Every structure is written in C-alpha cells, then in structure tokens.
Amino acid sequence: MIHVIALIIALAFIIIGIVRWKIHPFFVLLLAAIGYGFITGMGVTEIISSVNTGFGSIMGKIGLIIFFGVAIGTILEKSGGAMVIATRMLNWIGEKSIHLAMMITGYLLSVPVFADSAFIIMNSLNKALSDKAKVSYAGTTAALALGLTATHVMVPPTPGPIAAAGILGAELGSVILWGVIVSMLSLVPCYFFATKIASKVKIPITIESSADALHKPKLRLSLLCIVVPIVLIVLKSVFDYPQLNLTTSPVYPVVAFLGEPVIALLIGVLLALLLPEKLDVKVYSSTGWLGDSLLIAAPIILITGAGGIFGAMLQNSGFAELITESFSGMTIGLFFPFLLASCLKTTQGSSTVALITTASIVAPMMPALGLEDPFMKTMTVLAIGAGSTVVSHANDSFFWVLTQLTGMDVKQGNQVHTLGTLTLGISAISIIFLITQVAH
C-alpha cells in the first residue's frame, strides 16, 4: 500500500503545486519524484541514481528531437511560411467550406507550430473570412482550435507526443502513421460540433486593418521543412517492418540514417533556413530565431526530463511488480492511461505536462495493462494524447489565448472550446478502442 499512497501524494503535490502554488512543472515533477522515492523507502544512492539515469536516458532519446521540432515551427512562424501554408489551404478548400478549411489548416499548422502560436497566427485570417462568408465566428474558431488540438496531442513531431513515445519506447514512425489516422477520424464528430453546436454562440466581429509582411516564402519551401522529416521517419518505419524484409536492401543504411528522427528533424531545420529572405544574425544567432527556439524548447525538454526521473523512480521502487500483481486478469487496458491523462489535463491545464507525466507513470505498468507489444505501445501514446485534451478550461493557457483574441467571455469559451475538447477526447479514445479491437 505504501507505493500507492506515495503515488497519490506525489500526484496531489503535482496538481496543487502547478495549479495553486504556480510552481514550474519541472520543479514540481522533480520534487514529487524525489519525495516518492523517500516515502517508499528507497535509499539515497538509489534515488540519486534514478534522478541521473531517468533524466539522462530520456534526454538521449528525445532532447534534440524536441528542440529541432520547435526550431522548425519557430522559423516557419517568423518567416511567414506558416501564413503562406494557411492562406493557400483556404484557397484550395474555398471560403464556402470555411469550417473545414479552418479545421484542416489548424490540423496541419499544429504539427510544426505550437497550438497557441498557430492560433494567434490564424486568428486574424479566421476572423476576416468568417466576416466575409457571413458565418458564425464561434463555429469557425471551434473548428480551428480543435484542428490545432488534434495534432498537438497525437501527431509527432509535436513535442508532447514525441516525449510520450520516447518514454514508453513506442516506434515514432508508427506513432506518426496511426496518430494521423486517429486524429483525422476523431475530428469528424468535431466538425459537426463546430458547425451545428458551437456556431450557435454569437460573437461580434471587429476587423482591424494590418499591413501584410513584404516577404512571403514560396509554398513549396514552406511545406518542405514539414513534409520531408515526416516522410523520412515514416520511410524508415516501412523499411524496418519485419514482414517486408527490406533491411537487406542496399539503400537501407541510407534510409535508416536519414529516417532516424533526430537526423530527419535536423534536415527539417536546415530546410527551414531556406525560408527567410536573408539568412543573417536575425535568424541564426543566440538572440535570433534559433535562440528563440531554444528558449521555447528548454522548458519542454526539462519537463520531459523530470518526467523521465519520475518514471525511473517508479521503476526502481518496485512499483512495476506491485502493479503487475494488482492488475493481473483485469482488462482496463488503454482506458487507464486515458483517464489518468484526463485527470491531469483537467486539473493542471497543460496537455504537454499531462502527456509526459502520464507516460512516466504508465511506463512501468505496461506489461500489467497488456500494452507491452509495439502496436499497443503506439496506441497507448495516442490514448494518453486523447486524454490530454479532456478538457481545456480556465487553467489552460490555450483557453485564455482563444477567449481573449476572439472576445469570448468564460461562459462562451466553455461552450465553444471546453465542450469541443471533450468531444475530441471521447471521439479519439473511442476510435483507438475500436482499432485495437479490430487489430487484436
């Protein structure tokens, strides 16, 4: 029982520390992990070893990947490439299908660009098109926000899913492939929510004139830095698939090297450097765009590392053996990580923190939950992602970005965004469950 009590105390400390005391999640996770170790009777040497190995091993897997992913998004945003992609997407789909256009555009933009930043980029365009098409601004906002959220929590190279995949040992190419499938299907009910329910909320539209940036990168260059890394990672996964026997191919060493996530995303960063009108200190210096990327990525990398420490502490305390005995014969499976991520998301607000913390706690339990095979590891990452959408409300920074930029009050924000994220989360876990039933 001491392990369970210690975990409950640690989780309570994480939630209260972040929500009430406003402590940075890195320090909360680190202190919770150390406190858990002492409560369960671990020795000082074992606790220190868990801190060092937990942080070091997870950083070795995904530290650079997170930074490179953030760098691609930052350059896309600051160079105007993100706006070029968004505008062209809207032209392709058409203003008459503005809800679908905003959802798809948000879906694509949130892969390289943080959901909050992508919403800020898209809001003025969304407002102008809603006004021109004479459709509900609340409905198009819901479509955009849910499109952004879907890939933010389920499709690498977004940092949260990358971190969860690294902690659980899931194959990144598989997470990308299934993440795209699950997130797309999950948005079908969300589309009807945006057009039929959220659209009933009335928000006045005030258009503010602004000058367009003089330099706009070419669409093909803007897309290259997103598409090429994903294609390389997925291609490596295809070559590694045992039934295809492609590992003996003479091109396999090249594919294996280029498709390694850290190399693929580094290539993405290099391609992104083609976007600025001029490659100078404004872009590559420590105070330039790459320096900004490091400032954005650092907290996420540290939080992920603290999650790794928490996971190592649970593993080394014997928690895995306890859970294996306790869950023997139970069929809760994927619903446990989903519900845990939901609780953490709802109580502390950050989807990324919910993803990393849940993955760290669930990692030692995977065999007991029947989730240890490669396919189920992928589904677990997605189940955690689905849980980390449920629900966005007043303790989530994205909630306030959305409401403040659109002029919604808290009640309208709950009607449009909170209910929307609930729809997305339930839709996603239902699809994940059905896929696993068919596959097994």
Domain boundaries, the chain: 2-439
Q: Give the integer Cα–Cα distance in Å for 376 and 168.
A: 10
**d(Cα 73, Cα 229) in Å, to the nearest integer?**
13
- Give the pLDDT mean for 144-162: 92
Which stretches does DSSP call E strand in 2-132? none
Distance CA 4, CA 332 (A): 18
- What pLDDT is stored for residue 65 in this prediction? 85
What is the tens place of the pLDDT at every residue in 35-66?
A: 999 999 999 999 999 999 989 988 887 788 88
Give the model's pLDDT for residue 86. 77
Of residues 151, 170, 179, 156, the one with CA closest to residue 232: 156
pLDDT at 166 over 80: yes
- pLDDT greater at residue 342 or residue 93: 342
The tens digit of pLDDT for each residue in 177-197 reads 999 999 999 999 999 999 999
pLDDT (tens digit, 9 = 90+) per residue, 284-303?
Answer: 888 889 999 899 888 888 88
d(CA 344, CA 358): 8
Q: What is the Cα–Cα distance from 84 to 427, expressed in whole angstroms?
A: 31
What was the pLDDT predicted at 48? Answer: 95
- 89: which 2 tokens? 């997407």
Q: Please give the pLDDT value at position 210.
A: 41
In 3D, which of 236, 246, 185, 230 has the Cα closest to residue 72? 230
Which residue is it, tokens 């029982």? 1
pLDDT at 330 over 60: no
Of 397, 382, 398, 304, the closest CA to residue 341 belongs to 382
User: pTM of the entire structure?
Assistant: 0.79
* Locus of tokens 């994220």: 421
